[in-house]
């Protein structure tokens, strides 16, 4: 099967079949925002990949390339990795929308100076980005979207069996189209707060011109922070609806990518 024989017969053949199936699942878990965060130990991802691979091997009969340590076998492994990374990257695009919205709102409020480490990416992000990320994560898990995504990862073996993992230009265009939808959702999340902050800045500007003794910075920064927090409280329902729609669209786009 792999041009190597360790003398274990059928057991060895099933082991390499399991390892080959784990390639796509492991790549998807590494690329996904919830399962691939640095705080999740690699051992957990390996165990989860192995558990899912056991079920895939039991449910879906498919043939593994006869020689993995050849050029054709390595290309098949790379194809498995590519499919898994694409399935996880769609979720990464969905989880990037709140961070983009937080950058815009935080810049208008003057809160971009308050940064923290984002657990999803391991990089620094605004404090508002942490809040939006927690909201999206809680709603995503409450809707059971993570289970639906895992089911689609398993279903991808029907649409793209080993050796037929080339996605094609149309499917990559679907992923790019979802990226544009991510930017639109980020704009919709940031729009209510930005409109309120624009009004606050106009009012503080008029006050500073009418009363030059007032310090624009000492007046505008607290007013911007208070106005932004008030706008976030008022637009909570809008944020929830947009996040629910974003979670649904992410799962729909993953299903479209693996659609035959």
Question: One digit per residue, pLDDT tens: the chain, 260 residues?
Answer: 444 555 555 666 677 778 888 888 888 888 888 777 777 778 888 888 888 888 887 777 776 666 666 777 777 778 888 888 888 888 888 888 888 888 888 777 766 665 655 555 556 666 777 788 888 888 888 888 888 888 888 888 887 877 666 777 777 788 888 888 888 888 888 888 888 888 887 877 777 677 666 666 666 677 777 877 788 888 788 888 888 888 888 898 888 888 76
Backbone angles phi, psi at 67, to 5 degrees: -140, 100
Look at residue 188 and tell me if it is in a domain.
yes
| pLDDT for position 33 | 84
Counting the structural domains of the chain, the total is: 1
Sign of the C-alpha dihedral, residues 26, 31, 34, 38?
A: positive
Look at residue 1 and tell me if it is in a domain.
no
- Listed in sequence order, the residues at least 6 apart from 260 whose beta carbon sits closer than 8 Å to its beta carbon are 158, 159
CB 88 within 8 A of CB 80: no
Other CB atoms within 10 Å distance of the CB of residue 233? 8
| Contacts of the segment 196-200: beta carbons below 8 A, 24+ positions apart | 196/227, 196/228, 196/230, 196/231, 196/234, 197/105, 197/108, 197/109, 197/224, 197/227, 197/228, 197/231, 198/108, 199/227, 200/224, 200/227
Strands (E), 66-191: 115-117, 124-126
Backbone angles phi, psi at 114, to 5 degrees: -90, 100
Look at residue 5 and tell me if it is in a domain.
no
| pLDDT for position 218 | 66
Look at residue 82 and tell me if it is in a domain.
yes
Provide the whole-model pTM: 0.76
Look at residue 230 and tell me if it is in a domain.
yes
| pLDDT for position 126 | 67
pLDDT in tens, 189-198: 888 888 888 8
Domain extent, residue 132, equals: 10-257
Look at residue 143 and tell me if it is in a domain.
yes
| pLDDT for position 121 | 57
Look at residue 75 and tell me if it is in a domain.
yes
CA angle 167, 143, 91 (to 5 degrees): 30
| pLDDT for position 111 | 66
Q: Alpha carbon 245 to chain centroid distance?
A: 14
pLDDT in tens, 47-80: 888 888 888 877 777 766 666 667 777 777 788 8
| pLDDT for position 114 | 58
Other CB atoms within 10 Å distance of the CB of residue 83? 26
Look at residue 25 and tell me if it is in a domain.
yes
């Amino acid at each position: 099967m792999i041009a190597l024989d360790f003398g274990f017969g059928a057991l060895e053949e099933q082991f390499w079949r399991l390892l080959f199936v784990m390639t796509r699942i492991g790549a998807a878990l590494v690329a996904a925002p919830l399962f691939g965060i640095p705080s999740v130990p690699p051992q957990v991802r390996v165990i989860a990949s192995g558990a899912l691979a056991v079920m895939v091997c039991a449910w879906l009969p498919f043939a593994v390339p006869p020689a993995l340590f050849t050029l054709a076998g390595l290309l098949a492994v790379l194809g498995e990795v590519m499919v898994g990374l694409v399935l996880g990257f769609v979720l990464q695009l969905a989880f990037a929308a709140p961070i983009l919205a937080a950058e815009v709102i935080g810049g208008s409020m003057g809160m971009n100076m308050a940064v923290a480490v984002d657990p999803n990416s391991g990089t620094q992000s605004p404090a508002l980005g942490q809040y939006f990320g927690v909201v999206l994560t809680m709603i995503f898990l409450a809707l059971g979207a993570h289970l639906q995504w895992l089911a689609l990862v398993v279903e991808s073996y029907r649409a793209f069996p080993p050796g037929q993992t080339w996605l094609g230009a149309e499917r990559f265009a679907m992923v790019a189209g979802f990226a544009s939808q991510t930017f639109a959702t980020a704009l919709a999340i940031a729009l209510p707060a930005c409109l309120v902050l624009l009004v606050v800045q106009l009012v503080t500007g008029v006050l500073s011109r009418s009363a030059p003794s007032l310090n624009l910075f000492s007046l505008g920064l607290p007013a911007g922070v208070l106005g932004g927090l008030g706008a976030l409280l008022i637009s909570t329902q809008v944020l929830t609806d947009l996040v629910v729609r974003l979670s649904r669209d992410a799962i729909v786009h993953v299903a479209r990518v693996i659609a035959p």
